[in-house]
């Protein structure tokens, strides 16, 4: 898929060039946030000579997956987040051991999916460009293309990540959790040198698409969480009755679960946040102000959310990256070479 096609998918009026410039500045300042030696080795168009069709191949595979099941957009977005928050953005979440002691079996990674989509993209890339494109880069590109498929913004993804060599579920013990307080959430994001604004964008903002299981909201329903509006509480309780099937899936954004937009922030403001970790953001004054800024009644508010989200994704995407001679480029994504 060409850049022109990607840009035409987006419904936003802002310039993708301006997003790219903003993202470059985020990447350029990465020495203040991450290891500069690692971040600076990521490049836009890293595969332009070694595998020119790499990004379009990933884009085509993602488009097919989301066309088949629109829910795959959120699944791929979540996969990138969970990869980056454990051992950095190195594709370690993709590794599968026979004894189920790898990252994907950590409690915090329950329900994480999209592995088949990544494997499909890797198979096609190995056929055309064997041993060139890392699984870690495929995950990052797939997340971007998933956002596009949900009518979100196009943004350039710096590439050149190498794949990690280990995957241990014990390393995933400190992932952000739906039951976390606002202070714990802030602490976990700051450990990754992500700001409070990044927390709003990458946690609540990313929930503009996708679903969750009743399992993750039962405790707040049973406790009759006062941050849920009375009417919406009845809606949630009807979908997730006490003693009911905890595996039932419900939308995180009740109004537009398959479309990237700012509606999720409106829901949180109005007491219609589905999971606790979204709702608690509005109880913190600083977070509340960030959320309100994306709901301002002006034409640029939606564009600001999209552009800020894109920058936050790129910022997250350089956490703990392995480059140069670090790690490897796996031949298959679920096992090291």
- Judge whether 163 is annotated as a binding position: no
Q: How far is CA 230 from CA 237, 248, 275, in A?
A: 11, 21, 15
> In the chain, where does DSSP find H-type helix?
3-9, 16-28, 36-39, 54-68, 72-84, 115-128, 135-149, 182-191, 196-199, 218-222, 230-239, 263-269, 276-279, 285-293, 301-316
Three-state secondary structure along 124-187? HHHHHCCCCCCHHHHHHHHHHHHHHHCCCCCCCCCECCEECCCCCHHHHCCCCCCCCCHHHHHH
Contacts of 84 (CB under 8 A, 6+ apart): 192, 316, 317, 319, 320
Judge whether 274 is annotated as a binding position: no
Does 245 appear as a known binding residue?
no
- Asked if residue 83 belongs to a known ligand binding site, the reply is yes
Residue 227 assigned ligand-binding role: no
With vertex at residue 62, the alpha carbon angle to CA 61 and CA 66, rounded to the nearest 5 degrees, is 120
101 is in an annotated binding site: no
Q: Residue 207 annotated as binding? A: yes
Measured CA to CA, the distance from residue 147 to residue 12 in angstroms comes to: 12
Active-site residue, selected from the candidate residues 31, 80, 82, 97: 82
311: its two tokens = 């920058």
Whether 82 is catalytic:
yes
Q: Which residues, in sequence order, are bridge partners of residue 163?
A: 328
Would the annotation count 244 as a binding residue? no
Beta carbons within 8 Å of 112's beta carbon, 6+ residues apart: 75, 78, 79, 82, 93, 104
Tokens for 74, please give them. 């959120």
Answer for the pair 240, 214: CB distance below 8 angstroms, yes or no. yes
Binding site for substrate, residues? 176
Q: Give me the active site residues, please.
A: 82
Binding site, residues? 83, 86, 88, 90, 92, 176, 207-208, 253, 261
């Amino acid at each position: 898929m060409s850049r022109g096609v990607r840009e035409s998918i987006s419904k936003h009026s802002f310039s993708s060039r301006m997003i790219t410039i903003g993202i470059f500045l985020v990447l350029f300042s990465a020495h203040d946030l991450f290891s500069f030696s690692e971040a600076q080795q990521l490049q836009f168009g890293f595969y332009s000579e070694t595998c020119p069709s790499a990004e379009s191949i990933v884009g085509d595979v993602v488009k097919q997956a989301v066309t088949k099941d629109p829910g795959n957009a959120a699944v791929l977005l979540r996969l990138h987040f969970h990869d980056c928050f454990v051992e950095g953005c190195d594709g370690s979440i993709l590794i599968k051991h026979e004894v189920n002691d790898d990252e994907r079996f950590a409690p915090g990674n329950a329900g994480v999916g999209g592995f088949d989509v990544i494997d499909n993209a890797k198979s096609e890339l190995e056929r055309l460009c064997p041993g060139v494109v890392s699984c870690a880069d495929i995950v990052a590109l797939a997340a971007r293309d998933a956002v596009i498929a949900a009518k979100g913004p196009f943004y350039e993804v710096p590439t050149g990540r190498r794949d990690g060599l280990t995957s241990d579920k014990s390393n995933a013990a400190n992932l952000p959790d739906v039951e976390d307080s606002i202070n714990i959430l802030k602490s976990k994001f700051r450990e990754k040198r992500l700001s409070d604004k990044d927390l709003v964008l990458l946690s609540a903002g990313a929930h503009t698409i996708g679903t969750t299981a009743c399992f993750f909201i039962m405790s707040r329903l049973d406790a009759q969480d006062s941050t849920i509006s009375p009417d919406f509480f009845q809606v949630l309780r009807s979908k997730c009755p006490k003693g009911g099937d905890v595996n039932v899936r419900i939308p995180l954004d009740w109004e537009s679960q398959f479309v990237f937009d700012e509606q999720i922030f409106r829901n949180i403001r109005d007491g219609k946040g589905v999971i606790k970790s979204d709702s608690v953001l509005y109880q913190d004054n600083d977070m509340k102000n960030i959320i309100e800024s994306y709901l301002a009644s002006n034409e640029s508010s939606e564009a600001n959310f999209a552009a800020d989200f894109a920058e936050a994704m790129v910022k997250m995407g350089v956490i703990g990256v392995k480059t140069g001679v670090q790690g490897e480029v796996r031949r298959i994504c679920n096992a090291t070479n």
